[in-house]
């Protein structure tokens, strides 16, 4: 149980385009989803927290107009990287939890390469 | 504030050796503590957790005990296998703010046959 999927697993795009990444909880209802960014050989950096049906809460230094997060249902959250640039190339990982539980379950990640 | 400090890697061991990866934390509330494992090119998988002082989390031969007096949550395994090669992350979840996880920097483990 507690499976989280991400799509796509890999995406290559041209600079200036927008990219949407989906995060789904497959066997539970995720009241809260999180988006992280991981640079090579580094730890995870929390970008934002999203609760179903409400606006995402962004961490300090994360541009909310660049990284659009939508959590429209209890099983789906999307991260859209708008007008992507090479410096946005990274490994993006989502996680989800339900109710008051503290454990987060992570997706397999999406590797974004902006040319 | 909240933070997690892990021993720097990489850690290189021979198969069947004993493993310890140190993790210490600072927290303002009553955190839960976690170990996650990341295999190459993949997301994080929950390895084990402990929710209160003196709890021991265990899974797949790995163990960690929540030590409040030393603010530690060291990961141990008695006999590692090549398949244990991965990056291990220690994390805490702030008891006062369920939303946030604080991750350590990760420790890469290489196990040689």
pLDDT one digit per residue (tens) for chain B, 113 residues: 889 999 888 999 999 999 999 999 999 878 999 999 999 888 889 999 999 999 999 999 999 999 999 999 999 999 999 999 999 999 998 766 656 889 999 999 999 99
Cβ pair B105:A42 closer than 8 A: yes
Residues of B in contact with A41 (CB under 8 A): 106, 108
Is residue A32 within 8 A of residue A97, CB to CB? The reply is yes
Tell me whether A25 touches chain B (CB under 8 Å): no
Q: Which residue has the tokens 């030393």?
A: B70
- b/e B55-81 (16+ beta carbons within 10 angstroms → b): eebeeeebbbbbbeeebbbbbebeebe
Of B42, B51, B106, the CB nearest to A109: B42
Cβ pair A46:B43 closer than 8 A: no
In eight-state DSSP terms, residue A87 is: G
Per-residue confidence (pLDDT) for residue B64, from 0 to 100: 98
Task: Report how far residue A4's alpha carbon sits from residue A72's, in angstroms, rounded to the nearest whole number.
Answer: 16
Per-residue confidence (pLDDT) for residue B99, from 0 to 100: 67
User: Which residues of chain A have a pLDDT value below 70?
Assistant: none
Per-residue confidence (pLDDT) for residue B97, from 0 to 100: 64
Per-residue confidence (pLDDT) for residue B37, from 0 to 100: 96
The neighbour count for residue A9, using CB atoms within 10 Å, is 15
Task: Report how far residue B39's alpha carbon sits from residue B16's, in angstroms, rounded to the nearest whole number.
Answer: 19
């Amino acid at each position: 149980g507690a499976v989280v999927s991400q799509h796509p697993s890999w995406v290559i795009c041209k600079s200036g385009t927008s990219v949407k990444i989906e995060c789904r909880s497959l066997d539970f209802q995720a009241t809260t989803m999180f988006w992280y960014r991981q640079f090579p050989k580094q730890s995870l950096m929390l970008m934002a927290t999203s609760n179903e049906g409400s606006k995402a809460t962004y961490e300090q230094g994360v541009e909310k107009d660049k990284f659009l997060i939508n959590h429209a249902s209890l099983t789906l959250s999307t991260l859209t990287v708008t007008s992507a640039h090479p410096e946005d190339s990274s490994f993006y990982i989502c996680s989800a939890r339900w109710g008051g539980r503290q454990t987060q379950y992570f997706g397999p990640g999406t590797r974004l390469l902006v040319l | 504030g909240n933070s997690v400090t892990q021993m720097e890697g990489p850690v290189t061991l021979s198969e069947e050796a004993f493993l310890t990866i140190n993790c210490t934390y600072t927290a303002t509330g009553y955190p839960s503590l976690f170990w996650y494992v990341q295999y190459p090119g993949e997301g994080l998988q929950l390895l084990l957790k402990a929710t209160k002082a003196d709890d021991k989390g265990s899974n797949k031969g790995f163990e960690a005990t929540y030590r409040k007096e030393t603010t530690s949550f060291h990961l141990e395994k008695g006999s590692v296998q090549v398949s244990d090669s991965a990056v291990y992350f220690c994390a805490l979840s702030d008891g006062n703010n369920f939303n946030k996880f604080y991750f350590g920097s990760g420790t890469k483990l290489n196990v040689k046959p």
